[in-house]
Structure 1
Amino acid sequence: MEENIGTPPQALFDAMDEHIGERVANGVFLDGGGLYGTEDAVNFVVRNGEISRVDGPYAEVKEVVGGWSILQYDSLEEAVADQEKFAELHAKYWPEVTVITTMRQISTGPEESGD
């Protein structure tokens, strides 16, 4: 999401509480939380075998990860549909902000590929 855009409206917090509560109740939501801005962030960059440290805030950054969640679904279709519902909450309750939601699978290691 965009950084330094202010606090989300209370209506979005309320809608998210209900949305997440439903997923906790049915066992889909496993864990998650919000993230602070980049003002206290620390990056370690590995390049050509050398490590450098870069402390925030980062003037060139316009968008940052604002939060994360781990959810478990029975199918990809179910996950995609629910991700769209999550995006719809932001469109409805905070339409003036740009939010990008990204869904990715978690890799648990070589046993997934049969190795």
Structure 2
Amino acid sequence: MPRFMGFVRMEEGIGQPPQALMDAMGVYITEQATAGHFLDGGGLYGTEDAVNFVVRAGETTRVDGPYAEAKEIVGGWSLLDYATLEEAVEAQREFADLHAKHWPELTMVATLRQVSEEPPSPSDG
């Protein structure tokens, strides 16, 4: 079955989610896990402790957070398993709808991407 990654991007420092959302997410994730769709996932801490390694022009530079220029950050992730892309898309919509219902003042982007099952091919460089 194809695997997918779900990401949640939102503004940093907007406070804790409402308890109603946390409760609804607990039920939703339990249902998805029981059905074998939710494999793993969780929320991420803020960027104050984040570390990036930037590769540019053959050089690697470490850049520590927080990042003043970041307007949106990845706040959570999930590893999902669905038989079809359509099922995964529908589940991601349901996930986003929970946020719209229980935290209506939130602006967020719920992204779904399929995980490549093929090893990367060497470049023809």
Q: Verify: 1:32 aligned to 2:41, yes or no.
A: yes
TM-score normalized by structure 1?
A: 0.93
Q: Indicate which of 97, 117, 124 corresponds to 1:88.
A: 97
Determine the structure 2 residue equivalent to 1:14.
Answer: 23
Q: Equivalent pairs: percent with the same residue?
A: 68
Give the 4+ runs in structure 1 shifted more than 6 A: none
Deviations 1:6-41 (A, max 9, x none): 000000000000000001111111111110010000
Deviations 1:54-111 (A, max 9, x none): 1100001011001100111111111111110000000000110111000001112239
Amino acid at match of 1:6: G
Structure 1 or 2: more strand by fraction: 2
Q: Indicate which of 93, 100, 111 corresponds to 1:102.
A: 111
Give the aligned CA root-mean-square deviation in angstroms. 1.1
Structure 1 or 2: more helix by fraction: 1
Q: Indicate which of 75, 83, 93 corresponds to 1:66.
A: 75
Partner Cα distance (1:13, 1:95) in 2: 14
Partner Cα distance (1:76, 1:106) in 2: 11
TM-score normalized by structure 2?
A: 0.86
The size of the alignment, in residue pairs, is 111
